[in-house]
Amino acid sequence: MSINKENKYPSIHQFKVNDINGNEVSLSKYKGKALLIVNTASKCGFTPQLDGMTKLYEEFRDSGFEILAFPSNDFAGQEPLDGEAIQQFCVTNYAADYPIFEKTHVKGNNANPLFKFLSSKKLNGKVSSSPKWNFHKYLVDKEGRVVDFFYTITKPTSSKIKKSIQKIIGN
């Protein structure tokens, strides 16, 4: 793992993930943007948070903010869909136009390396919180450093999340 020497903290920009169609995407493409990284599921009691994610994205997208959604089936099998079906569900039901990535593991030994990084203070230098359920949220600053996390019960449109984003983007 590389360390961002300018900031002393490791960056998520070192990771590559697959988009919903299986194409590799370097997270370095998000340099200079604040990010909210969320593990999602289509058949969860918290699935309506996708609507809040869309509203949050619409509010801040022109200010250097992105939401990155990572569907996961790690919690009670609540993401039965795959690939294009996930994308279609999110767009059709919640007008999601933020990036949705390939279904992945977000906890345990099989967790995607990005989520291992996001979950471990030893790796990211700031936060120690692994997802306990769907819709766990990580806030990442413009340099790719993990700066905060929000539990499932925190709605994407909460003032707590909005204020944290505003602090990063400078609004």
| Residue-wise burial string across 77-87, b where 16 or more C-beta atoms lie within 10 A, e elsewhere | ebbebeeeebb
Give tens-digit pLDDT for 46-88.
999 999 999 999 999 999 999 999 999 999 999 999 999 999 9
In-domain check, residue 153: yes
- The answer to whether residue 131 is domain-embedded is yes
Share of the chain above pLDDT 70, in %: 94
45 part of a folded domain: yes
- 118-126: average pLDDT: 94
Distance from C-alpha of 149 to C-alpha of 84, rounded to nearest angstrom: 28
- Is residue 66 in some structural domain? yes
Q: What is the pLDDT of residue 135?
A: 98
Over residues 77-102, mean pLDDT = 96
Which percentage of the chain shows pLDDT scores above 90? 93
44 as an active site residue: the answer is yes
Mean pLDDT of the chain: 94
CATH number of the domain where residue 37 is located: 3.40.30.10
Catalytic residue among 44, 90, 161, 168: 44
User: What's the pLDDT at 10?
Assistant: 86
Residue 87 is encoded by which pair of tokens? 């994308």
Report phi then psi at 70, rounded to 5.
Answer: -120, 95
Name the domain count of the chain. 1
| pTM (2 d.p.) | 0.94
Q: Does residue 6 lie in a domain region? A: no
Q: Could you list the residue range(s) of the whole structural domain that residue 45 is in?
A: 12-169
Decide if pLDDT at 8 tops 60.
Answer: no
3 located within any domain: no
Average pLDDT over residues 134-162: 97
Q: Which of 29, 113, 98 is nearest to 59 (CA)?
A: 98
- 106 found inside a domain: yes
3-state secondary structure of 106: coil
